[in-house]
Each structure stands twice: as structure tokens, then as C-alpha cells.
Amino acid sequence: MQDEIETEEIIKDIFQRGKTCFIPRYQFQSNHMDMVKLTSPEEISSLPKTSWNIHQPGEDEAREEALSTGGLDLIFMPGLGFDKQGNRLGRGRGYYDAYLKRCAQQQHGKPYTMALAFKEQICLQVPVDENDMKFKLNIYEELGSDSESERKVKPSGEDTVSLSPVMGLVSLCREFHPGEFMNT
């Protein structure tokens, strides 16, 4: 079983809507991560893969970085486990936590954060420390669904609603209001 939700359809939808898309570029010798601009949905599959099997531009490749262009409105956060209090268990390097702290220091501020998970990754509680940043909304996918177009969206602490995979994931910022589900 894969341990992270595939994001290709989300990326395609972002471009179809005429929006700008940034993807993570990790520096594996540190906990530094930048969000760099993607030029097209097709470009993602041509990028080299990391040891974590993630497509990303090479560190030496010049790319526009989100913090230098005004910041981000939304970040989809991957992870190994999530709880209903907005906590996330990553892979232990702190990439997203450090990046969100950098965002908070910028004029644009911290972006709205959505956790992408399989239902099986939702836990009662995940271990956290003072460096961990919370997410606002948890979106999860049902494994073994009869319909590929059926996905579940789970606002933290609320009932589950069914939405199409692309419209549900990308349009959530307009349909749900930050702060309704969690005070973080």
C-alpha cells in the first residue's frame, strides 16, 4: 500500500483553473525545504525522483520560490499519521514545520494547511513536540472505494462529506472557512 495520496489530479486541476502551482524541493542534508514553481502539469513526471520517490527539480536548477513571490495561500501536507486535533506525524525531518514557520515570518503569513491522508492514517493521537505545526483541515481518501471519482473530505472534528476528487480538494478553501473546525 502506498503511504501518501497521489496529487497529480490536484496539480492538473490547479493549472486548468489558471492558478500557480508550487511543489516542495527538499534539501536532504538539512531540514530545509522550498516551494518552487511548477510550469505545467506535464512537467512533474519529467522531474528527477528523490530517494523518497518524489519528483522534484534538482537543487542546482534555478526556480521561482514561493516566499520570494508573496507566499502561498494553501499547502497540502503529506504525512504518515494525523489526528483530529490537527496534529501530523511526518517523516521526522521537520521540512513542513520549518517551512511553515518561515511563512509565518513573511508579510503574507502562514498559508491555509490541509492534510492529505488515507482514512487508515487517521489516529486518535499522534506524538508531537513544540516544533510541530498543526494543519487546519484533514482530507482523506477511502481505500477500496467502488468509484475512483468518490473521495471523502473530513473537516477536523466534523462529519464526512462526499465530494469529487478534484473539485473537493482544490475548492475547499472557498467552501469551508478557516477557523470553523480548529482554533490553531
pLDDT digits (tens, 9 = 90+) for 21-44: 999 999 888 879 999 999 999 999
- Does 87 reside within a domain? yes
**Measured distance CA(133)–CA(148) in Å, rounded:** 31
Look at residue 63 in the predicted model and tell me its pLDDT.
93
More confident residue, 164 or 8: 8
Give the count of domains, the chain: 1
More confident residue, 152 or 11: 11
Mean pLDDT computed over 163-173 = 36
Domain boundaries, position 48: 8-175
- Does 1 reside within a domain? no
125, 87 Cβ separation under 8 angstroms: yes
- Grid coordinates belonging to 164: 469529487
The band of 162, judged by pLDDT with boundaries at 50, 70 and 90, is very low
- Residue among 84, 77, 82 nearest 110 (CA): 77
- Grid coordinates belonging to 35: 516551494
Domain harbouring 57, CATH code: 3.40.50.10420
pLDDT tens, position by position, 55-89: 899 888 999 999 998 889 889 888 888 888 889 99
The Cα angle at residue 25 between residues 20 and 26, in degrees rounded to 5: 155
- Residue among 98, 160, 153, 86 nearest 123 (CA): 86
- Does 182 reside within a domain? no
pLDDT tens, position by position, 103-156: 999 888 888 888 888 888 888 899 999 888 888 876 666 555 444 434 444 444
- Does 112 reside within a domain? yes
